[in-house]
Amino acid sequence: MKRNGVVMIVAMALQLLLLSGFSSGDESSNVVIEDTEVKNKRHHVVGEDRGWDSSSDIASWSSDRLFMVGDDIWFAYSAAEEMIAELKSKEEFESCEVSNPIRTYADGLNIVPLVDEGHRYFASSKAEKCKNGLKLHVDVAPIGGHKHKAEQLLAQPPKPSAATSPQLSLLIVFSYLIISCTAVFLLVQQF
């Protein structure tokens, strides 16, 4: 039981670090359109502050994202309650057929690098949760691809985020430090 608590604290700390340092919540600020490359690697924290959870609206979260080769997807979830299945096909994804995944993620915090263009399908390993919307379809664009969608993202006004305020960014970093110290303390308590 203590181990799951430590895992969740570490996952939350890493998520806070990502939100404060890597992703401002305004994905369009990270996109640089050129003929052959996107300069900034993006780290997509699935579900943002709620993470991979039934209460997150994963479909809405992903609808305005541009996933490109070289980006990472970060899944933060309770390993005691959940596993994530990567599925082979759109058919398995739509029907929530999770019995034969190509990969299973079960650590509570998983970083999935997007190394190839194409479609990737992720779902809760529990079919009922999948049917209730806990699933993610990622269309990975080649570097420099999907320029029309990237131009649309650039045209959108910035979304408010914690990282837009220096005071809130400092609060996030301070929270990260407190959570990290707590995680270390709990880990030492186990031994």
What's residue 171's pLDDT?
53
3-state secondary structure of 61: helix
- pLDDT of 30 over the 80 cut: no
Residue with tokens 């809130």: 168
- For the segment 158-172, what is each residue's pLDDT rounded down to a tens digit? 444 444 444 444 455
Neighbour order of strands in the sheet with 109-113:
43-45, 72-76, 109-113
The pTM for the full model equals 0.60
- pLDDT of 69 over the 90 cut: yes
Domains of the chain: 27-164 (2.60.40.420)
pLDDT band for position 28 (cuts 50, 70, 90): very low
136 burial level (CB within 10 Å; 0-12, 13-18, 19+):
buried
| C-alpha torsion sign, points 153, 140, 116, 23 | positive
Rounded Cα distance, 106 and 139, in Å: 23
